[in-house]
Structure 1
Amino acid sequence: MKMAPKGNDVIVSDRKLEMILSMKGGNGEASYANNSQAQAIHAQSMLHLLRETLDNIQLMEPPSETIPFALADLGCSCGNNTLYIVDVIIKHISKRYEASGYEPPEFSAFFSDLPSNDFNTLFQLLPPIGSSMEECLASDTHRSYFAAGVPGSFYRRLFPTRSIDFFHSAFSLHWLSQVPESALDKRSMAYNKGKVYIHGANEHTANAYKKQFQTDLAAFLGARSKEMKRCGSMFLVCLGRTSADPTDQGGPGILFGTHFQDAWNDLVQEGLITGEKRDSFNIPVYASSLQEFKEVVEANGSFVINKLEVFKGGSPLVVKQPDDAAEVGQALANSCRSVAGVLVDAHIGDQLSEELFKRVERRGSCYAKELIEQLQFFHIVASLSFA
């Protein structure tokens, strides 16, 4: 992999996005593990919907003790959130078996994300496996499942045919497999000149992102339709929007299209990078509308929609003192950096990345009150089973 000198001439490797993209690993201040409290709060607020989906799964009757119940968390990242959700799923299924008078089966949990994910940090968080289901249900210090990591893009096949009982994916499907090529092509009407995100972009750029999202979601559903058992179910959560206009990305637009965008402009104005360097960077995130999501599921035809709704998730910023402008600015910078920092580092290098996020923090502090009042995420929640 060749890298040019730092500054305007930094050249990102020609590796595909899936070989670079990851939430920021480790346990540092800007790591995803230490900046995913909002995702945890949002996930907990949707547990009743998750449990409803789990109730749709048809349990296998004895003698099924030799066949494990297999679940997969797609886009697991590297923090405690995925472990918490897997525990919720297994405990709920175990209680369903017990209520039916059956012994719960063994459980296999597959944690899947892109190869660049920090699986080491994730697996260090795993508690030891318990000696019995009863011990695990009675204590949070043991796990009741066999764990495995599965690196790869969920836009392709990851598992053998008809091998998974339950798929879970939260806060991941809004990440595209790639930035649409036309958004980076100077000759295209979709060229996203002057911007690093599609919030407020032109109609052609937004439509390119919409098409990429729907192509990716179709690929995701196609792969899962082969891997999921006929009696299985799937629970999906991704960023959504309430506006019919795809150039209005709502909360993600405020996160990536305002102060983060302005910080890039600062680097250009200060001569630290060129405008062309800025324009060649785009955040590969798309917040879909409910209708756009529904169209893809229905076109695929493999799944029944048990539930599909837009759910108000709240703010991605978790601060102890909302009136403390400095804390809000730091939370904004850490939030952006935990999810997009790896891409920024790859594009302009560590030193300029540090300068960029300093400016994000400074701008966030100046607009702290507005951020606390306006920065709200909405999520699309989908419960699907086989048609």
Structure 2
Amino acid sequence: MKSLAGNGVEGRFEWIGLLGVGDNIVVTNKRKLERIFSMKGGKGETSYAKNSQAQARHAQSVLHLLEGTLDRLQLVSPETPFVVADLGCSCGGNTIYIVDVIIKHISKRYEALGHEPPEFSAFFSDLPSNDFNTLFQLLPPLAIHGGSMEECLAADGHRSYFAAGVPGSFYRRLFPARSIDVFHSAFSLHWLSQVPESVTEKRSTAYNKGRVFIHGGNESSALAYKKQFQTDLAAFLRSRSLELKKGGSMFLVCLGRTSVDPTDQGGAGLLFGTHFQDAWNDLVQEGVVEGEKRDSFNIPVYAPSLQDFKEVVEADGSFSIDHLQVFRGGSPLVVEQPDDAAEVGRALANSCRSVCGVLVDAHIGDKLGEELFARLERRATNHAKDLLEKLQFFHIAASLSLDNS
């Protein structure tokens, strides 16, 4: 799961990298963003695994909506394995927690009907560049040793399902037809499959000159992002409608906004359109990065309104909307000492770097990336109180059932 944490991104950036050793990213030609983009792997200070506590809290706040989706799901014979897929799993423990919640809830439904639960299978899916190694190291050992599924579910510290990783963009097909019972995706669908081409074309009215995100930008840029989001979500729905079993359901959570104006990206705008933007401007003003280099970098994120989302689902027609709402998710900053400005600044820089650091390093090299995030940390430290008060995320939660009519 991810908050600003992406999936399925394929872009059109000119990648000019620095040859190096160790942590240096080597990029020497134009490549699909899909092959490069991921949340920051490993277990270091700026990794996604260390900076996804806020996503965990936000996910827990909508567990009742997830459980409502699972209660509406049509159960099949317990002799048939039950299959769960988490799309945009990233490399932290949040996805494992959610899969466990889903399986335990479904098991209770079977038990309430007097049946022993079926065998369970869970697919963890993200882009090929995702750090699956770190994720799989977090998986508890399998508890199935010839015992019943009921005994397996009762085993402490073990998992009660078979696990597999599925690399690929969720804007395309990932699974065989009619093979999945329930899809879950959290904090991923706001990541676009690419930055719209017109946003980086100098002759286009949508050219996002001087900015690295659409927040506070011109209307044409924002509408290009909106169109890309709707195209991507339509592709996502088409693929899932073929992969879900009859009676299957999806529970989706992504960044959202309450404003009708797409140039007001809410919390995402404050994260990527204020101090992060200013940090880029610092590098340009100091002559460290050329203005055109900054202008060719855009964050491929779009926080839709409820209407943006609803229009696509209804136009697709494959799914019934069981529940759709915008809810306040809270701050992405998790700090132990809110009065410590340095801790707040570090938390913002680490949070931002964990979700888009790979893109920054691929665009300007990891050394300049260090410079950029150092400036972001200093700016965030100077505005710590304001950030704690104003940086709030809104999310869209959608419970969708496959329309079998």
Common topology (TM > 0.5): yes
Q: What amino acid is aligned across from residue 203 of structure 1 in structure 2? A: E
Q: 1:241 touches 1:379 (CA, 8 Å); kept in 2?
A: yes
Instruction: Choose from 108, 115, 118 the match for 2:131.
Output: 118
Q: What amino acid is aligned across from residue 199 of structure 2 in structure 1? A: A
Task: Measure the CA separation in 2 of the matches of 1:43 and 1:259.
Answer: 26
Task: Measure the CA separation in 2 of the matches of 1:277 and 1:217.
Answer: 29
Does residue 94 (structure 1) correspond to residue 107 (structure 2)? The answer is yes
Task: Measure the CA separation in 2 of the matches of 1:123 and 1:56.
Answer: 30
Query: Unaligned regions of 5+ residues in structure 2, if any?
Result: 1-13, 20-25
Q: What amino acid is aligned across from residue 87 of structure 1 in structure 2? A: D
Task: Measure the CA separation in 1 of the matches of 2:128 and 2:325.
Answer: 31
Per the alignment, residue 356 of structure 1 pairs with 372
Superposed, 1:1-387 pairs within 5 Å as 3=16, 13-61=29-77, 64-65=78-79, 67-131=80-144, 132=147, 133-387=149-403
Q: 1:12 touches 1:346 (CA, 8 Å); kept in 2?
A: no
Q: What amino acid is aligned across from residue 97 of structure 1 in structure 2? A: Y
Task: Measure the CA separation in 1 of the matches of 2:170 and 2:151.
Answer: 33
Q: Report SS of the residue matched to 1:55.
A: helix
Q: What amino acid is aligned across from residue 349 of structure 1 in structure 2? A: G
Task: Measure the CA separation in 1 of the matches of 2:333 and 2:382.
Answer: 15
Task: Measure the CA separation in 2 of the matches of 1:311 and 1:2.
Answer: 37
CA distance 1:245–1:188, change in 2 (3 Å): same
Task: Measure the CA separation in 1 of the matches of 2:126 and 2:81.
Answer: 22
Q: CA deviation at 1:267?
A: 0.5
Cα deviations by residue, 1:259-295 (Å, 9 ceiling, x for unpaired): 0000000010111110000000000000000001000
Cα deviations by residue, 1:85-144 (Å, 9 ceiling, x for unpaired): 000000000000000001111011000000000000000101100034334433441000
CA distance 1:177–1:12, change in 2 (3 Å): farther
Tell me how many residue pairs correspond in the alignment. Answer: 381
Q: 1:135 touches 1:142 (CA, 8 Å); kept in 2?
A: no
Cα deviations by residue, 1:41-74 (Å, 9 ceiling, x for unpaired): 000011000000001111113xx42x21011000
Q: 2:15 touches 2:31 (CA, 8 Å); kept in 1?
A: no
CA distance 1:172–1:2, change in 2 (3 Å): closer
Q: What amino acid is aligned across from residue 94 of structure 1 in structure 2? A: S
Per the alignment, residue 3 of structure 2 pairs with none
Cα deviations by residue, 1:141-163 (Å, 9 ceiling, x for unpaired): 10000000000000000000000
Q: What amino acid is aligned across from residue 277 of structure 1 in structure 2? A: K
CA distance 1:136–1:218, change in 2 (3 Å): same
Q: Report SS of the residue matched to 1:239.
A: strand
Q: 2:143 touches 2:155 (CA, 8 Å); kept in 1?
A: no
Q: 1:325 touches 1:366 (CA, 8 Å); kept in 2?
A: yes
Task: Measure the CA separation in 1 of the matches of 2:371 and 2:342.
Answer: 17
TM-score, length basis structure 1? 0.96
Q: Report SS of the residue matched to 1:221.
A: helix
Q: What amino acid is aligned across from residue 279 of structure 2 in structure 1? A: A
Q: CA deviation at 1:240?
A: 0.2
Query: Unaligned regions of 5+ residues in structure 1, if any?
Result: none
Task: Measure the CA separation in 2 of the matches of 1:2 and 1:212.
Answer: 21
Task: Measure the CA separation in 1 of the matches of 2:366 and 2:334.
Answer: 26
Q: CA deviation at 1:173?
A: 0.1
Q: 2:280 touches 2:372 (CA, 8 Å); kept in 1?
A: yes
Task: Measure the CA separation in 2 of the matches of 1:12 and 1:39.
Answer: 34
Q: What amino acid is aligned across from residue 229 of structure 1 in structure 2? A: K
CA distance 1:2–1:377, change in 2 (3 Å): closer
What is the alpha-carbon root mean square deviation over aligned residues? 1.4
Q: What amino acid is aligned across from residue 159 of structure 2 in structure 1? A: R
Q: CA deviation at 1:343?
A: 0.3
Q: Report SS of the residue matched to 1:309.
A: strand
Q: CA deviation at 1:325?
A: 0.2
TM-score, length basis structure 2? 0.92
Q: CA deviation at 1:383?
A: 0.1
Superposed structure 1 runs of 4+ greater than 4 Å apart:
1-6
Percent same amino acid among aligned pairs?
77
Q: CA deviation at 1:13?
A: 3.4
